[in-house]
Chain A
Amino acid sequence: MPGVIDVQGLSFKYTRTLVLDTISFCVQPGDYVGLIGPNGGGKTTLLKLILGLEKGVGKIKLFGVEVSTFKEWWKIGYLAQKSPVSQTRFPVSVEEVVLMGLCYDSVHKEPTVTNLKEVYRALSQTRTRDLARRIFSDLSVGQQQRVLLARALVSKPQLLILDEPSAAMDSASREMFFDLLGELNQKQGVTILLITHDTGEVGKYISKFMYIDKELVFFGDKQAFCQSQKVAEKLGAFAQHTIDHLHNNGHCPLGCQCDNVHGTMGHYAAHGAEAVHGGREASCAEKNRGVGAPVEKTAVSAEAVFPAAGAEAAAPAQSAGHNVPATQLNVENVSPAATTDGGKK
């Protein structure tokens, strides 16, 4: 069975700057892949290459077909990080925007009743049905993003490619959004490739992680990701950065000064807390139990990587203290079949 996305030896340069270096991986049907990595690591470029928006060196196949000759675009739903018209007036209704997601004959004709039913199904999925007649550019950025998700879903795609889609959403919308993605993946078998920094919130659904920093540092399942020495080395600075932000005013957001930190640091503190402690629910539970001890600046929590598997991987260490230096994680149980550490073939 061919992979949904099969990338072999992919490299890409912007003029003289090497952005991606000889990347190879294969995403299988039903995978839910979280694509993470530092800013400028090449994540968005990789998505653009996969979608044929940029041309690099190497081979990319979508559903077994070279991307340059790929025709069945209805199989793919794409959602970018930013709305295309968030600042400018573009007089199309939400209904028309979602209709753009259907790949019907380009010769000008009015949409059929079936087309419209598909549109309203997708709008219902993203809870934006009541916005159908509104002008798209009059909506808030978060609402626009939910409508664009409906546009990505309207053709009933088998593969969803999402580039940090939840950045502009409020917490309720984000929760709805990730629950919907999880449902699509688990119940309908939709393959998902998602760029995210929100590992805390999305971690419970993701089945595989891909870490890119110009090269493919890691590609494999959650368990292997948490135990990967190479990932631990790479994430050191990333985790430290988050922790430093959380401790800007000397208080742990999950400890006794929680409200104070939330008040002064706002959304970022909440986001960071989720990244470190695995989602808001877990954070609250830990806070109530009073186990939210201040995070050591030099330590890197396994749960900083993601919450669900992190809890399993770091369980022995948690008994001794809440945080585990990533370099001390158990690396003996990493299955070579389950992981692509380094990624180069």
Chain B
Amino acid sequence: MIGEFLSYGFVQRGLIAGSLVAVVCALLGVFLVLKRLSLIGDGLSHVCLTGVALGLLTQTSPVYMSLPVVLAASLGVLKIMEKVKIYGDAAIGIVSAAGLALGILITALAGGFNADLFGFLFGSILTVDRTEVFLCAALLCALLLFLLFYYRDLMAASFDEAFAHTRGIKTNRLNAVLIIFTSVAVVLAFKVVGIFLISALIILPPVSALLVARTFKQVLWISCVLALSSVWSGVYLSFVFNIPSGATIILINLLFLALAFVYSRVGRGYGRKGKKYAD
């Protein structure tokens, strides 16, 4: 069964792209969740709708059309947070609402591509093409390099942004780079899980990992492992039972979250909270 499943080219591409995107989202998600910016994935995914609608309207690839639109929106979020001095979630809400409204408007004005749009809204991992796989791989490589160089800065800025600033860390620049990475990840991820579920891929694995990990590095590793496991098992189950892959992936992530919560309460438990781990 599994051999047959893996023999299809579209399944292989879907699995590779899904795995790459899942790892990117899991890694980015750790920092976004800790910085309380996790809903940026949700906001930017709504902006994707504008890009997808424009792509379908102009008969170009919705992915390539979405990329500049979402990048512009992410810069918009940064500018609103910086200049208007409002909270990040409100800035995300503004850009999200604008993206969703524009997307709906373009869809309504153009008409006739509702069926195509459905695939983007709820994910169609098995339609990923070769170029998109390469883009996902390039994105993951760039992110790993970024983390390799700025791991400690990112950890310090996620822990305490004001103090990180007083250590000479350019926290605004780090935030900007994180958000730009997120916007590209969101665009590449909407085929995997769909526009409506991207944010779950960014939030759920890191939150589960935060519940069970004992070190920051463990958070990153566990988050990646959970994300990968959810994509592989989700795609396989969707193939076997002929159910939507995006929704299956997210439900598996929710199951992981529930297990992590139980482990954090029972396995690690409150009883050991005060235990001294020093030598």
Quick check: A93 and B215 within 8 Å, CB to CB? yes
Is A100's CB under 8 angstroms from B162's CB?
no
- Quick check: which of A22-30, A82-90, A167-175, A298-306 contacts chain B, the rest being far away? A82-90
Task: Indicate whether B135 reaches chain A with its CB closer than 8 angstroms.
Answer: no
Q: What's the A-B contact tally at a CB cutoff of 8 Å?
A: 96
Q: Does B42 contact A (CB under 8 A)?
A: no
Determine whether the beta carbon of B166 is less than 8 Å from that of A73: yes
* Stretch among B3-11, B146-154, B248-256 lining the A interface: B146-154
Residue of A48, A80, A85, A107 touching B159 (CB-CB under 8 A): A85
A92 lies within 8 A of B216 (CB) = yes
Q: Mark A43-71, 1 if CB is under 8 A from B, else 0.
A: 00000100111000000000000000001
- The answer to whether B277 touches A100 (Cβ under 8 A) is no
Most buried by A among B215, B218, B273, B278: B278
Interface string of B151-175 (1 = CB under 8 A from A): 1110110111111111111000000
Chain A, residues 95-137, CB within 8 Å of chain B (1/0): the string is 0110011110011100000000000000000000111111100
Query: What CA separation (Å) do A93 and B213 show in the bound complex?
Result: 12
Chain A nearest CB from B104 CB (Å) reads 33
Give CA–CA (A102, B273) in the complex, Å: 28
Contact across chains for A106 and B169 when beta carbons are under 8 A apart: yes
From A78, A108, A132, contact of B151 by CB (8 A): A108
- Decide yes or no whether B211 CB sits under 8 A from chain A: yes
Given A106-B153, A131-B278, A92 contacting B159 (CB threshold 8 A): yes
The 3 closest A-B pairs by CB, nearest first: A84-B160, A133-B277, A73-B168
A252 contacts the other chain (CB 8 A)? no
**Considering the chains assembled together, what is the distance between the CA atoms of A53 and B151 in angstroms?**
22
The answer, yes or no, to whether A76 is at the interface (CB within 8 Å) is yes
Secondary structure of the A contact surface, majority rule: loop
Q: A89, B150: Cβ atoms under 8 Å? A: no
Q: A100-B164, A106-B150, A108-B152 are in contact. Are A90 and B159 (CB under 8 A)?
A: yes
A2 within 8 A of partner (CB): no
Q: Knowing A84-B160, A108-B149, A131-B278 touch, does A76 contact B166 (C-beta < 8 A)? A: yes
Kindly list chain A residues whose C-beta atoms are within 8 Å of the C-beta of B168: 71, 73, 103
On chain B, the residues within 8 Å of A74 by CB distance are 167
B34 on interface, CB distance cutoff 8 Å? yes
User: How long is the Cα–Cα vector from A145 to B40 in the complex, in angstroms?
Assistant: 31
**Candidates B161, B162, B166, B214; contact of A135 at CB < 8 Å:** B214
The answer on a CB contact under 8 Å between B160 and A101 is no
B257–chain A nearest beta-carbon distance, Å: 14
**CB under 8 Å from chain A, chain B span 37-78:** none
A15 contacts across to B, CB distance below 8 A: 85
Do A73 and B167 contact each other (CB < 8 Å), given the known contacts A91-B214, A100-B159? yes
Looking at B152, B165, B166, B215, which has the most chain A CB atoms within 10 Å of its CB? B166
Where the two chains meet, the residues of B that have a C-beta atom closer than 8 Å to any C-beta of A are 34, 85, 147-153, 155-156, 158-169, 210-211, 213-216, 218-219, 273-274, 276-279
User: In whole angstroms, what is the CA distance A100 to B156 when docked?
Assistant: 6
Q: Are A103 and B167 in contact (CB under 8 A)?
A: yes
Chain A proximity of B156: nearest CB distance (Å): 4
A91-B219, A100-B152, A135-B214 known, 10 other contacts, Cβ within 8 Å: A51-B162, A53-B165, A53-B166, A73-B166, A85-B159, A91-B215, A92-B155, A100-B159, A103-B168, A106-B169
> Pick the contact of A78 from B158, B166, B278 — CB < 8 Å?
B166
Tell me which residues across on chain B come within 8 A of A131, comparing CB atoms.
Answer: 276, 278
Question: If A106-B150, A108-B152 touch, does A52 touch B165 (CB 8 Å cutoff)?
Answer: yes
Q: Check B159 against A97 for contact (C-beta < 8 Å).
A: yes
Chain A interface, number of residues (Cβ within 8 angstroms)? 37
Q: Mark A227-247, 1 if CB is under 8 A from B, else 0.
A: 000000000000000000000
Main secondary structure of the interface of B (DSSP, over half): helix
The listed residue (B152, B213, B278) touching A91 by CB distance below 8 A is B213
Residues of A within 8 A of B158 (CB): 90
**B162 and A53 contact, CB distance less than 8 A:** yes
Please tell me if A21 contacts chain B, counting CB pairs below 8 Å.
no
In the complex, what residue of chain B is closest to A138 when comparing beta carbons?
Answer: B273
B159 close to A89 (CB less than 8 A)? no
Chain A positions within 8 Å of B211 at CB level:
89
Between-chain CB contacts (< 8 Å), 5 pairs: A53-B162, A93-B215, A102-B167, A134-B276, A151-B163
Chain B residue with the shortest CB-CB distance to A52? B165
Q: In chain A, what residue has the closest Cβ to B34?
A: A90
Cα A108 to Cα B148 with chains together (Å): 6
| Smallest Cβ-Cβ distance to A47: which chain B residue | B162
CA distance A90 to B150 in the complex (A): 18
B133 to chain A minimum Cβ distance, whole angstroms, is 28
Cα of A131 to Cα of B214 in the assembled complex, Å = 15
| Shortest distance from the beta carbon of A46 to any chain B beta carbon, whole Å | 14
* B162 in contact with A80 (CB, 8 Å): yes
Q: Smallest CB–CB gap between A274 and chain B, Å?
A: 29
A107 to B273 Cα, complex, angstroms: 33
- Output the residue of B152, B156, B279 with the most chain A CB within 10 A: B152
A152 nearest in chain B by CB position = B163
Residues of chain B within 8 A of A129, CB atoms compared: 278
B279 touches A133 (CB 8 A): yes
Collect the chain B residues with CB atoms within 8 Å of residue A85's CB: 159-160
Residues of A near B34 (CB, < 8 A) are: 90
Residue of A nearest to B158 (CB): A90
Please report the C-alpha to C-alpha distance between residue A148 and residue B152 in the assembled complex, in whole angstroms. 17
Complex formed: what's the CA distance from A76 to B166 in Å? 8
Residues of A within 8 A of B156 (CB): 100
Complex Cα–Cα for A73 and B150 (A): 18
Q: Which chain B positions have C-beta within 8 A of A130?
A: 276, 278
